[in-house]
Structure 1
Amino acid sequence: MSRIVRNCVVVLVALLWFVPTYLLLVNGVTSVSGYSGSPNWYPNSFGLFANIEAAWKTANLGPAMANSLYYSAVSSACAVLLASLAAFAAAIMPVRRRALWFWLIYGGTLLPLQVFLRPLFLAYANTGLYDTQAGMVVIYVAIAIPFAFFVLRNFAVTLPPEVIEAARLDGASWWRLFRSVYVPLSKSAMVAAFVFQFVAVWNDLLFGITLATSRNIRPIMAALADLQGNYSNVGPPVVLAGALVVSLPTVIIFFLSQRFFVSSLKLNV
């Protein structure tokens, strides 16, 4: 009986998650002329390619997608590298007060990001980082490190201590141990952390509209928000078609790395 109830709950939750996606697909496919003004539950016309073309030209999505791809890939890779170094030190090296270091780094996820907006804006304006690609990468690396550290540190504590001790007895330095033992064993966790942060950076809107204004700097979500600002001019189907295009890269990267993602979750349970 409990299994039946559990399966029903899972199906219900899956349906609740699927309804917004279904409406996005149906209304994104609908042509602007066939849109009635309220959400359609069934497609009554087909205008997907025309909607995508209108969204692409109106919001200049091409450069914005290239910017987000650059921000997501570079900042996520840098964050995973730094987080793996921190996780190795906090979980494997004989450092004092490991719990303190853990909470000091992971504590970056406990505060809402809105708290940092004013000091960040002022600091960026005073240092010349405002509305620059370097400035966007810096903030994305900073906000991506805590969660990546959480994933990698939890993986590091599951590694057999005998492996570390054997490498140390063979004369391996800590750097050699990190490079030749920890990194190969942690590939699945590193890929999972990279996917998490790639999706988070790609979907960011808050810093995209706060720390960048130029079209050649702003990320894709800021461009999509600009398209929605022109709501009355392009119509909801164009906005939704643009959202479909914007969501594709994150879906692709998730499915390409699904094997690493699932194996890492199993190891951290």
Structure 2
Amino acid sequence: MKTLRSLIVVLLALIWFLPTYLIVVNAFTPNDAYTGDVRWFPGGVAIFENMAAAWEAAQLGPSMLNSFAYAVVAGCLAVLVAAFAGFAVTAIPGGRRIFWFWLIYAGSLFPAQAFLRPLFTGYAESGLYDTGMGLLLIYVATCIPFSFFIMRNHMLTIPPEVAEAAQLDGANWWRVFTRFHLPLSRSALAAAFIFQFVWVWNELLFGITLSYSEQIRPVMAALAGLQSNYGTVGPPVVLAGALLVSLPTVVVFLAFQRVFASSLGGTRI
């Protein structure tokens, strides 16, 4: 039984890895040697030339800096707000905790496409369209619900005696939150931030809907612009560009994978 389970896991892993393998193999193919057929084995070692061509054609440098700023700032703000909300519904006495949980968490249950038309209209009328502040606001708002889910679940594991003992010593709720719950939630804060960093970096829908200029658009929107020039740059260049812009998130995830294992071991509702 254990052998069968291991074989199933290996098979699923191979199926999951297959698209990545094809991207890497075809990104190595020289652009002028690509025939349009999918390659299962490398047809050359032109990966760096293809990355350089993608970098120049799509102007990936400024857009990567934009995405880095959006991901860091939006991730930090969303996790901070989520920590406040998680503390409020777990430590501060009050009723309807389940109601407040579902009210906030419901923001992650609806498809983003449902918000595009009102967002586009509102942004166009308010002057937020094609602005860094506009993208930052929607990224923060979108990141809060799932960050709240992580922070709330973690703070449920903090014994209530911590807050009670602090209050007996004269601490108010603000001091309880900043001096006790935040330091005890460092691993959950890091995990929530990394999740949101990766999501904002890989986000495309809002990037192409709410921005168009090179000074504002995130990196995935720039990569989508490269794909629109499909016949000019060639598929190997597009695939090499996709690999290039994916490297930061891969590095972040691998560097902090222990954080996920230590802080996301269980969930409660």
- Normalising by the residue count of structure 2, what TM-score does the alignment of the two structures yield? 0.97
**Which residue in 1 is equivalent to 2:140?**
141
**Which residue in 1 is equivalent to 2:245?**
246
- Larger CA deviation: 131-140 vs 157-166: 157-166
Q: Whole-Å Cα distance in 1 between the matches of residues 48 and 252 of structure 2?
A: 23
> What are the within-5 Å matches in structure 2 for residues 202-213 of structure 1?
202-213=201-212
Q: Whole-Å Cα distance in 2 between the matches of residues 196 and 45 of structure 1?
A: 35
Shift of 1:33: 2.1
List per-residue Cα deviations over 1:177-198 (Å, max 9, x = no partner).
1111101110111111111111
Q: Whole-Å Cα distance in 2 between the matches of residues 8 and 154 of structure 1?
A: 34
Matched positions, count? 268
- The RMSD of aligned alpha carbons is 1.1
- Tell me the amino acid that sits aligned with residue 128 of structure 2: L
In structure 2, the gaps of 5 or more residues are none
Q: Secondary structure at the match of 2:16?
A: helix
Shift of 1:4: 2.1
Change (3 A) 1:268 1:100: closer
- Tell me the amino acid that sits aligned with residue 100 of structure 2: W
**Which residue in 2 is equivalent to 1:215?**
214
Shift of 1:268: 4.1
> What are the within-5 Å matches in structure 2 for residues 67-106 of structure 1?
67-106=66-105
List per-residue Cα deviations over 1:122-180 (Å, max 9, x = no partner).
11111111000000000000000000000110111111122222112121111111111
In structure 1, the gaps of 5 or more residues are none
Structure 2 residue 209 is matched with structure 1 residue 191: no
Q: Whole-Å Cα distance in 1 between the matches of residues 265 and 50 of structure 2?
A: 41
> What are the within-5 Å matches in structure 2 for residues 30-109 of structure 1?
30-109=29-108
Identity fraction in percent: 57
Q: Whole-Å Cα distance in 1 between the matches of residues 43 and 115 of structure 2?
A: 46
**Which residue in 2 is equivalent to 1:180?**
179
- Tell me the amino acid that sits aligned with residue 48 of structure 1: I
Q: Whole-Å Cα distance in 1 between the matches of residues 223 and 232 of structure 2?
A: 14
8 Å contact kept, 2:85–2:148: yes
Q: Secondary structure at the match of 2:265?
A: helix
Shift of 1:267: 5.1
Q: Whole-Å Cα distance in 2 between the matches of residues 258 and 93 of structure 1?
A: 32
Q: Whole-Å Cα distance in 1 between the matches of residues 255 and 211 of structure 2?
A: 30
Q: Whole-Å Cα distance in 2 between the matches of residues 184 and 13 of structure 1?
A: 39
- Normalising by the residue count of structure 1, what TM-score does the alignment of the two structures yield? 0.97
List per-residue Cα deviations over 1:73-128 (Å, max 9, x = no partner).
10011000000000000111112211111011001011111010011011111111
